[in-house]
Amino acid sequence: MAVMSLREKEARFGWKLVLPTVIIIALLILYPVFYNIYLSFFEVSISDAPNRFVGLQNYREILADSSFWKSFGITILFTFTTVIGSILLGLGVALLMNREFPGRGIVRALLLLPYVTPLIAIVFAWKYIFLPIDGPLMKFLANFGMNPGNDFVNNPNNAFWVVSIFNIWRNFPFVYLMLLSRLQSINSDYYEAAEIDGASDWQKFVHITLPELYFVIASVALLRGIWNFYKFDEVYLMSKFANTLPVYIYEKAFSGIPEQGVAAAIATILFVIMISLIGVYVKKVLKW
Amino acid sequence: MVKKKSFLRTLGFWTLIAALVIFVTYPFAWMVSVSFRYDTDAFEPGIIPKRPTLDTYAILLGFKKSVREELSNEQQQLLDLVKTLPEEQRKAVLAQIESQRKKESFPFLRFFRNSLLLAGLSAFVSLILSIFGAYAFSRIDFKGRGTIQRGVLIVYLFGGTILAVPLYQIFVKIGLTSSGISSAFALFIIYIVQTIPVSLYMLGNYFRTIPRSIEEAAIIDGTSRMGVITKIIIPLSLPAIITVYIYAFMIAWNEFLFASIFVRPFPEFYTLPLGLNEIFNSEHAIWAKMMAASVVTAVPVVVMFMMMEKYLTGGLTAGGVKE
């Protein structure tokens, strides 16, 4: 056997270092994605009986189910609302925090709280303040003529809004952090030049700040869009009545009489939509 | 005239800051406030507790027995009565008392320990694997590197929602859902995979900032590649490594979906999110205790984050964030 060149030896060492990672990702992420598609053509048994091949029946069933379409609509709306909401809020806060002021360090630390606190802890805090009659936020809102008896969290008509506002509240710090670090790297010469030309604050924002932020905003929108489209825990723990698709999948697969084949079919649909949207977005918006 | 405008602007600015702070901290303020109250005072108006107490914390952390845990009179009498009963009946009554008491307990410390173990160990394994992987990505040229790197990045966009059903089926097939300990093991593996992509990405970015010349000098002196990793790379990137560890820890500490799928039948193995959610949905009027539990769940993670903030801000923006 020929002596390995240094290059080959290096390459071999490199492979050894990444191999464990590659194996477990392949086994526990890639394989399951395909296995999921496979399962979607079966009636998945929950006992020892073998799965029964049903072809496209699961898909037909879902597409004919009006509650699927309703969930689907809610999920799209949820994704748009939360992405736009968290970007607008994150942008505003980033602009505010880009100024020096006494106490900025403390405010910046506080701003991270919603994002870094374990979900389960803040979910209880939110449920507490939203409790009908007794909850402090409801009592406070009563001063402005709102009926404190409303149960926002557990009312299927309102749950969507509570869950969306909660998601925006929790995730805007992520957007703000990304935008702030980009803001701080914008060359101040641009602003000085614009001032000499007599540009107003608004003009400076539209003609300098926004174009500089374009790619960060677009990338953050993509990430948040993907994550929120899949979002399960924040929605489910906050209100089971918000009925987005991930919650729908979870309930089909793991509660009542499990229909895991159907759940797999919904997950596959979600997956295909997501992949195509990412493809279009990356081409059109990020222009890669 | 100019002065007046700028005064108004300053006022507006501070109003915005104040509004922002209230918006962000409002639920936290109530969480902390209620956690220092008795259960019966949970809905007293006013954010400052009128009868502050550390009672709920003492109960949660096991320094004090809760009223619920103390035997009720009825149970005490039953216990006395039981002694006179024949063997078989005695067993039945005792079992009933036992199950009654179980329902009333709030095994916070157990949840906490489970979460600590699971998150601590899985983040550790994920960290070790990604130190090696990230080193290979940032320093060594090999065929297929680009593909793997992109693959990992794409994979980290797949949410748990899509993987829940197939992963459950796979673990059922290989028999890892039959007992509590094996289900917990399944969770451990899943948490490693869930955290590896971010860890790899963040560490890879950091390793690239370490000058190659330091390593080259060591290699010329006869240090092996492995030696370079353990003696140079790891010590030099300790802040980044700790940040990544905390990040991975938090992902596992927060995880709810897979915990609820895998360990729901085994209360002994409940993690904090699962355990607290189950208790919340089963009992009533325990707001002070829920809030104290929330505070204790949040404090370790929040403190770690605040300590790491200056590293984190860089890492977050450099690495993107996995949730």
Is B168 in CB contact (< 8 Å) with chain A? yes
- ipTM entry: 0.90
A111 CB neighbours in chain B (<8 A) are: 20, 24
Among A20, A44, A120, beta carbon nearest to B276: A120
Token representation of residue B45:
């108006």
Nearest 10 degrees: Cα torsion A58, A61, A62, A64: 160
- So what's the pLDDT on residue B318? 45
Of B192, B254, B316, the CB nearest to A118: B254
User: Residue B125 contacts by C-beta under 8 Å, 6 or more apart in sequence?
Assistant: B192
Nearest CB neighbour to B43, from listed A99, A124, A134: A134
CB contact under 8 A, B321 and A174: yes
How far out from the chain centre does Cα B248 lie?
A: 9
> Could you report the per-residue pLDDT of B268-285, keeping only the tens digit for each?
999 999 999 988 887 655
Contact: B162, A267; criterion CB under 8 Å: yes
Which pLDDT band holds residue B296 (cuts at 50, 70, 90)?
very high
B133 neighbourhood in chain A, CB within 8 Å: 17-18, 20-21
DSSP for chain A?
Answer: -PPPPHHHHHHHHHHHHHHHHHHHHIIIIIHHHHHHHHHTTEE--SSSSPPEE-TTHHHHHHHT-HHHHHHHHHHHHHHHHHHHHHHHHHHHHHHHHTS--TTHHHHHHHHHHHHHS-HHHHHHHHHHHT-TTTSHHHHHHHTTT--TT--STT-HHHHHHHHHHHHHHHHHHHHHHHHHHHHTTS-HHHHHHHHHTT--HHHHIIIIIHHHHHHHHHHHHHHHHHHHHH--HHHHHH-TTS--HHHHHHHHHHSSS--HHHHHHHHHHHHHHHHHHHHHHHHHTS--
Whether B204 and chain A come into contact, CB under 8 Å, resolves to no
> Which chain B residues contact residue A249 at CB under 8 A?
161, 164-165
pTM for this model (two decimals): 0.88
On average, the pLDDT of chain A sits at 89
A35 band by pLDDT with thresholds 50, 70 and 90: very high
Whether residue B33 has pLDDT greater than 90: yes
Q: Does B93 have pLDDT greater than 80?
A: no
- CB neighbours of B313 closer than 8 A, spacing ≥ 6? A177, A181
Measured CA to CA, the distance from residue A19 to residue B291 in angstroms comes to: 44
Q: Which among A31, A122, A227 is the nearest to B323, CB-wise? A: A227
Q: Using pLDDT thresholds of 50, 70 and 90, give the confidence band for residue A155.
A: confident
Percent of chain A residues past pLDDT 90, beyond the cut: 55
Phi and psi, residue B237, nearest 5° = -110, 25
pLDDT digits (tens, 9 = 90+) for B208-232: 888 888 888 888 888 888 888 998 8
With cut-offs at 50, 70 and 90, classify the pLDDT of residue B317: very low
Report the first-to-last Cα separation within chain A, whole angstroms: 45
